[in-house]
Structure 1
Amino acid sequence: MNDPSVAALHLALDVHGRDVHSLRAAISAAEQAGFALATFSDGPLAQGVPEAGTRAAFVSRLTDRIGLAPTLHATVTEPFHLATQLAALDHASHGRAGWIVGAANGVDERATIGAAPLTPEQLREELADVTAVARALWDSWEDDAVIKDAATGRYLDPDKVHHIDFVGESFTVKGPLITPRPLQGQIVVLAPDALELDELADVVLIERADAAAIGERARAAKEAGAPLAFAEVSFGFAEPDAVAKLVDLLRSLAAVVDGVRLRPADPATDVPVLIEQVLPVLAAEGLLRPAPRPGDTLRATLGLPRPANRFAREGAVQR
């Protein structure tokens, strides 16, 4: 059992399974091992496999505890469709959806939507706008908007469904969303630290050379408003002392971040070693958070509050 006075880590695993059978096996192993979150990497040029959001949706009905966070790229996806897909994933998973903000911006990647790469300034603005719009759209239905009043034949209360009327530099969104508010209220947003979205993220993903540098960036992220900071840890066990080195690294990270996202070099061989040889050592030392419980939302697993709806909070009536 974890001592709450001891620093301990939430665990996320980047799941590489892409065909139905390997994906099912990978997500089952991660959930049984007590990971808080599974992430699904993707890019707009991937071919021959379902995109990350579809893979997450597939496993949403095969799991009941682990969070599911696909990478969806804000630079090549319509903001309204992105917000809708993630809201639908949250409903399908009973409140376990996350979103890793993707920022694909290469020539070939942007060509998939017939656009040129964004400048650094344009990229920052686009990412901030898409994230802010997604959050506004998730609030566009109040929690009690759906009334299902058979006597009057009314499905929803129109005074509790709102336009967001967003106008940005490159797009506008009127809203509301076509999907009721996510069960979590807001999807858990995970943003790589290089994107500089700390104030809009629930979790900042930090990739640095050592624990000290990661800890320094984690402090900056929290000062900017991010509730949680996770370290990005790539690992493999090709070297004889790799298990001991990973254990030592995770021990040091437990003192400076809230969690880690583990990215295996070879999932087929590395994940079993991680689960069988690394995690038991950390658990025995009280360095791991408790495994998610069936029925918990991802926000509950991560200790994040369920946000109040902005329109209900402000008493707004906008249709």
Structure 2
Amino acid sequence: MSERSLLLALNLDGAGNDPIESASYAQEAENAGFHAVSFSADGLLDAVQRASFSAPKTQRIALIPVIDALFTEPFHTATQLASLDIISQGRSGWILETQNEAVQAQAVGRETLPDHGLSTEAADVITTHRRLWDSWEENAVIRDVASGRYLDANKLHYADVQGKSFSVKGPAITPRPPQGQLPIIAPAPLFTDEGLQHCRLNGADVVKLNGANFDELLAQAQIASRKGAVAIDLDVYLDTATETGAQRLAAQGVQPTERAEFTGTPKRLTEFLARFAEATANPGDQRRHLVHLYPGDLRVDSQVLIEEVLPELKHSNLLAPVGNTLRESFGLPVAKNRFQEAS
């Protein structure tokens, strides 16, 4: 088994709209050894804003918003994510999702997309973000008092993206993010027409796999990890001293999600995470792979994870070290600037 290859992220939506509570959970997760926390916007305050509030209150843990790629403006989301990366000093990423629902489409005066159009739209959006993040060279800010110039205009570049449903000229209105390129985690189903390799060729750093069957999920992860970093999502309802996870799940009466669902003891979850680490271990490959945990009850399940699961994973030497940036945690290479390389 490859040691120190596992990344763990904790979703904080259970903290609701209270940014102070979210930041407190982020601090607890950081101290416990989680690599990242995530924020989505389903019925909650903006995910990037909640992540940004936690940035100055944490030091090492990555802060990853979940953002829709279909009915948001790529120029604005690229700016927001770059700003988050700046204030967190390189600890941001982007979990890309596609909310292809009539309500979201009508809110911005658009129509839903056919299934075959999702991949093209997502690829266009990713390309736009990539080119905007590269549109400032590293040393574009010169602060030249003698000439009165803040920027070297020759080191700013047009993004010049012409997508199927939008175009973006650029350049960005913020400097290049500290990571250069934020890690983008994109769902594999978006790219099933062309396969997982198509997903990576269109700019995704990490392919997110879905599946309700654990053995099937591990088999997918084993294959996909040979080509690059992978992530899986798990809904977790863990047993406590007073109640089983299955009992809590039944009492909540929640609707099933697309994510795999785990109920059981902390020991069984630890065993599954060890199996995932083994399935995704590839000799000589420095890339690491992510398990994204969605606690059924943040207050209850996060404490079980912190007190029982994380210590065992550390003892088993399965957890990867926390990098200075999220790219480093994933084992991704330094991101080169496409415009600087060409000049």
State the TM-score, normalized to the length of structure 2. Answer: 0.83
The answer for the alignment partner of 1:253 in structure 2 is 276
Q: Kindly indicate whether residue 121 of structure 2 is the aligned counterpart of residue 98 of structure 1.
A: no
**CA RMSD between the two structures:** 1.8
Q: Deviations over 1:26-81 (max 9, x none)?
A: 111111111111111223xx2xx421011011111111111111011111111101
Q: Could you say if the C-alpha distance between residues 101 and 5 of structure 1 is closer, same or farther in structure 2, counting changes exceeding 3 Å?
A: closer
SS in 2 for 1:218: helix
Tell me what 2:236 maps to: 235
In 1, distance between residues paired with 2:271 and 2:8?
16
Indicate conservation of the 8 Å contact 2:47/2:66, yes or no: yes
Q: Partner letter of residue 14 of structure 1?
A: N
Looking at structure 2, the residues matched to 90 and 7 of structure 1 have their Cα atoms a distance apart, in angstroms, of: 25
SS in 1 for 2:313: helix
Contact 1:73–1:102, Cα closer than 8 Å, also in 2: yes
2:70 maps to which residue?
A: 75
Does the CA contact (< 8 Å) of 2:2 and 2:278 recur in 1?
A: no
Distance 1:7 1:24 in 2: 27
**1:214–1:256 CA contact under 8 A, matched in 2:** no
Per the alignment, do residues 282 and 305 of structure 1 end up closer, same or farther by CA in structure 2, a change over 3 Å counting?
same
The alpha carbon displacement at 1:169 in A equals 1.2
Counterpart position of 2:148 = 153
Q: 1:208 matched to which residue of 2?
A: 211
Q: Secondary structure at the match of 1:178?
A: coil
SS at match of 1:255: helix
| 1:286 corresponds to | 317
| Structure 2 portions without partners, runs of 5+ | 192-198, 246-263, 281-288
- Counterparts of 2:312 and 2:156, CA distance in 1: 50
- Match for residue 12 of structure 1? 9
Alpha-carbon distance change, 220 to 174 in structure 1, aligned in 2, over 3 angstroms: farther
What is the match of residue 87 of structure 1? 82
Report if the CA contact (8 A) 1:33-1:275 is conserved. Answer: yes
Deviation at 1:24, TM superposition (A): 2.1
1:22 paired to 2:21: yes
Q: Which runs of at least 4 in structure 1 moved beyond 4 Å after TM superposition?
A: none
Counterpart of 1:266, as a letter, is D
Deviation at 1:128, TM superposition (A): 0.8
For structure 1, list consecutive stretches of 5 or more residues without a partner in the other structure.
Answer: none
Give, in whole Å, the separation in 2 of the partners of 1:84 and 1:156: 18
Q: Distance in 2 between matches of 1:171 and 1:127?
A: 12
Residue 129 (structure 2) pairs with residue 126 (structure 1): no
Name the aligned partner's letter for residue 220 of structure 2: R
Contact 1:211 / 1:256 at 8 angstroms: preserved in 2?
no
Pair 1:53 & 2:81 matched:
no
Find out whether 1:33 has 2:32 as its counterpart. Answer: yes
- The worse-fitting range, judged by mean Cα deviation, of 118-127 and 201-210 is 201-210
User: Contact conserved, 1:75 with 1:105, CA < 8 A, in 2?
Assistant: yes
Whether the aligned pair in 2 keeps the contact of 1:211 and 1:253 (CA below 8 Å) is no
Determine helix, strand or coil for the equivalent of 2:59.
Answer: coil
- Alignment-derived partner of residue 339 in structure 2: 311
Give how far 1:215 is off.
3.7
Report the counterpart of residue 298 of structure 1 in structure 2: 326
Distance in 1 (CA, whole Å) between partners of 2:273 and 2:342 is 43
TM-score, reference length from structure 1: 0.89
Judge conservation of contact 2:2–2:277 (CA < 8 Å) in 1.
Answer: no
Give the counterpart letter for 2:266 in structure 1: V
Aligned residues: 303
Deviation at 1:213, TM superposition (A): 2.4
**Equivalent residues in 2 for 1:166-181, closer than 5 Å:** 166-181=161-176
Instruction: Decide whether the 8 Å contact of 2:33 with 2:310 is kept in 1.
Output: no
